[in-house]
Structure 1
Amino acid sequence: MRKTNKMIFISLLVSVGLALSVIESAIPLPIAMPGARLGLSNMVVLVTLVVFGFKDGIKVGMLKSTVLMLVTGSVSSFIYSISGAILSCILMHMAYKYFSKVFSLIGVSIIGAAAHNFAQVSVAVMMLSNTRIYSYLPFLLLVSLFSGYFVGLSSTYIVENLKKNFRVLFSRQETI
């Protein structure tokens, strides 16, 4: 894939991640748990990790968090978001690269969702200087099982289609 095409595609992935984050913030969850989310935009990060690799995956995660901060104006949310994005990208990459025989994309996604929640709770503990906030983590980890499963299942279908279409799209473009 040419460098310009890749840059455009990465930019589109960041845009889709941003749009999913904004849409997701408007969807009410059936349970009232602060910080609990569906994690729809994490699909984009997981797909990027699988299709393009770690460097581009972490770029998409960090750019998505940064642009979301610029759109919403919430700097405190940015600190939680960027920490979760970095830790989840690192752990999803490690799980996918070194343990793909053990974990499917669903397992990788669940690891990413749990890492995201752990990072956010850890940031809250540091910001508020209160370790009792960790008592909230088991509830968030339970939610991350379900959200991670959904994100991983969706990502599996997206990755299959992208890989198939990339071969067709970019092999045709090279010959033109």
Structure 2
Amino acid sequence: MNTRKIIFIAILVSQAMVLSIIERMIPVSFAVPGAKLGLANIITLTSIYLFTFKEALSIVILKSIMTSFIAGSLSNFLYSFSGAILSFFVMYFLILLGKDKVSTIGVSIVGGVSHNLGQLIMASLIIHSFNILGYLPFLMIAGIATGFIVGVTVRFLLKHLNKIDINKNI
């Protein structure tokens, strides 16, 4: 991996961390308690489009670990990490299987719903009850709405980032 790519990955990890921390400070008054805007997913989805599987996954893992060290707790890490990992894999394979058939908006919506599902699965494992999965339909609505916004943002962002040659040696 060249220096330019390492620097770009480091910038994306730090941006994802900042977006996560800012999102925690925003008093979101969704109709669905616990729903978030998913701002860091902008970086995750952008990374999937720009980098290899391993590089994009490293961005997701580093963001989750480092954000939890700075502004979180173990429970925050477990919920965030489980949602982020499930969302990453679902979005990655959706793009891999249907790159020309699914837009960034569609991938992002599926990612938002997957993130919520991952968090609810972790919660059900922690409390030893799958009854909490009954909350999924409400979180799906929030995931669809926020996934749409993230997808539009990523579509715009990719138009500009594709002009940058991150593989060029400096």
Does the TM-score normalized on the shorter chain lie above 0.5? yes
After TM superposition, the structure 1 = structure 2 runs for residues 143-154 of structure 1, keeping only pairs within 5 Å, are 143-154=142-153
Unaligned residue ranges in structure 1 (runs of 5+): none
- Aligned CA-pair RMSD: 1.6
Partner SS state of residue 44, structure 1:
helix
C-alpha deviation, 1:103, in angstroms: 1.0
1:40 and 1:73 map into 2 onto residues whose CA distance is 17
- Matched with 1:81 is 80
Tell whether the 8 Å contact from 1:91 to 1:111 is kept in structure 2 after alignment.
Answer: yes
2:167 and 2:130 map into 1 onto residues whose CA distance is 51
TM-score under structure 2 length normalisation: 0.94
Point out the structure with max Rg over C-alpha: 1
- Matched with 1:97 is 96
Tell whether the 8 Å contact from 2:2 to 2:167 is kept in structure 1 after alignment.
Answer: no
- Matched with 1:51 is 50
1:137 alignment partner AA: L
2:119 and 2:72 map into 1 onto residues whose CA distance is 18
Aligned residues: 170
User: Which region of structure 1 is more displaced relative to structure 2, 145-154 or 95-104?
Assistant: 95-104
What is the percent sequence identity of the aligned residues?
A: 38
Partner SS state of residue 36, structure 1:
coil
Tell whether the 8 Å contact from 1:58 to 1:85 is kept in structure 2 after alignment.
Answer: no
2:72 and 2:98 map into 1 onto residues whose CA distance is 38
The structure whose RCO (Cα within 8 Å, separation 6+) is larger is: 2
Partner SS state of residue 57, structure 1:
helix
1:73 and 1:116 map into 2 onto residues whose CA distance is 18
2:116 matched to 1:122? no
TM-score under structure 1 length normalisation: 0.91
1:58 alignment partner AA: L
- Matched with 1:3 is 2
C-alpha deviation, 1:9, in angstroms: 0.8
Higher helix share: 1
Tell whether the 8 Å contact from 1:24 to 1:40 is kept in structure 2 after alignment.
Answer: yes
